[in-house]
C-alpha cells in the first residue's frame, strides 16, 4: 500500500499559494487591493463557486480573502487575469514541478493528473476551479515541496527521505540536495507570500493555533473526496 505522501489528491485551498504567486508575479495587484466576494457565491457558466463562510465575506482586501480562504476571490481574480490565456496560469504547475513525478525515494510514486487548455475535459469552469485547488491531482509531497521553497527563501528542493545507505558504520551511498527550482519567484513576491501565510494564522482560518512562542506561517485546506466521478461529503483536511 502506498504511503499517503505518494497518493494523488486534489489539494484544495493549499493550492491558493500557487494562485497568489502567479497573480503577484504577472499582475500589478497589491495585498491591500479590494475584491468583492459578495454573499459567498459566484456564477461561472452553469456552476457556482462557493465560499465556506456563511453569508460570504463581502468586500475584503486580497490579503483578507487569502487569510479567510475565499474560493470566490481566487476564482474571480484568476478568471479576470488569465481567462484569455489559461495556459499561462497552468505553466506555473510546470515551473514548480507539480505536473510531473518528483522522483522521490518511495516506490510507486504516481504521475500527477493535470488538465490543460484544449485537452479533453477542459471547459470554461476549469480555470476558476483550478484557482482554488480542484480539477487536477498531485501528491501531498508536491504541495509540501512548494511550501518548503517559500520557507527556504525561494529555493525548491526535492524531498529526501533516505539520507544515506550504510553497511556497518560505512556509507555505501549518500543522497545530497537536489534543487528543483533555484528561484520560484521574485524576492518581493516571496516577502508578500510570507505576510499572507503568517496572516492565515494571525487573522484567518488557522488562528486557533496562534499564541505560541513562535510565529507560524501556513495555509489551511479542505478538499472534498471524489468517488466514482462525484464529490462526497468526505474531506481531506490539511495545513
User: Over the stretch 83-102, which tens digit does the pLDDT of each residue have?
Assistant: 999 999 999 999 999 999 99
**Cβ proximity of 79 and 44 under 8 Å:** yes
CA geometry: angle at 66 spanning 118 and 63, to 5°?
120
Q: What does the longest C-alpha to C-alpha distance in the chain come to? A: 64
Question: pLDDT tens digits for 194-214?
Answer: 999 999 999 999 999 998 899
Q: Model confidence at 222, in pLDDT bands (50, 70, 90)?
A: confident
Q: Which tens digits make up the pLDDT trace of 22-45? A: 999 999 999 999 999 999 999 998
* CA atoms within a 13 Å half-sphere pointing along the CA-CB vector of 24: 25
Give me 220's grid cell.
Answer: 489551511
Percent of the chain predicted with pLDDT > 70: 97
C-alpha to C-alpha distance for 222 and 175, rounded to whole angstroms = 34
Cα 62 to the center of its chain, rounded Å = 16
Question: Which of 49, 137, 122 lies closest to 86 in space, CA to CA?
Answer: 122
DSSP state of 111: P
> What is the rounded distance in angstroms from the CA atom of residue 112 to the CA atom of residue 117?
16
Cell readout for 3 is: 504511503
CA 25 to centroid of chain Cα atoms: 15
Q: Are strands 164-167 and 156-157 parallel, antiparallel or unpaired?
A: unpaired
Amino acid at each position: 500500500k502506498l504511503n499517503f505522501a505518494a497518493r494523488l489528491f486534489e489539494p484544495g485551498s493549499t493550492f491558493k499559494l500557487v494562485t497568489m504567486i502567479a497573480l503577484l508575479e504577472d499582475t500589478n495587484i497589491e495585498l491591500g487591493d479590494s475584491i468583492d466576494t459578495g454573499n459567498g457565491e459566484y456564477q461561472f457558466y452553469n456552476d457556482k463557486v462557493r465560499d465556506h463562510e456563511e453569508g460570504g465575506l463581502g468586500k475584503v482586501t486580497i490579503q483578507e480573502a487569502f487569510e479567510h480562504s475565499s474560493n470566490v476571490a481566487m476564482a474571480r481574480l484568476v478568471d479576470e487575469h488569465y481567462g484569455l490565456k489559461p495556459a499561462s496560469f497552468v505553466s506555473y504547475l510546470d515551473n514548480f514541478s507539480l505536473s510531473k513525478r518528483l522522483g522521490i525515494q518511495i516506490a510507486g510514486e504516481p504521475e500527477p493528473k493535470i488538465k490543460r487548455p484544449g485537452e479533453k475535459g477542459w471547459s470554461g469552469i476549469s480555470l476558476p476551479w483550478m484557482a482554488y485547488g480542484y480539477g487536477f491531482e498531485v501528491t501531498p509531497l508536491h504541495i509540501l515541496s512548494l511550501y518548503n521553497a517559500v520557507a527556504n527563501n525561494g529555493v525548491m528542493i526535492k524531498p529526501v527521505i533516505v539520507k544515506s545507505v550504510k553497511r556497518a558504520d560505512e556509507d555505501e551511498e549518500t543522497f545530497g540536495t537536489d534543487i528543483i527550482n533555484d528561484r520560484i519567484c521574485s524576492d518581493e513576491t516571496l516577502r508578500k507570500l510570507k505576510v499572507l501565510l503568517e496572516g492565515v494564522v494571525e487573522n484567518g482560518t488557522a488562528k486557533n493555533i496562534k499564541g505560541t512562542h513562535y510565529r507560524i506561517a501556513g495555509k489551511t485546506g479542505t478538499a472534498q473526496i471524489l468517488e466514482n466521478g462525484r464529490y462526497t461529503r468526505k474531506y481531506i483536511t490539511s495545513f
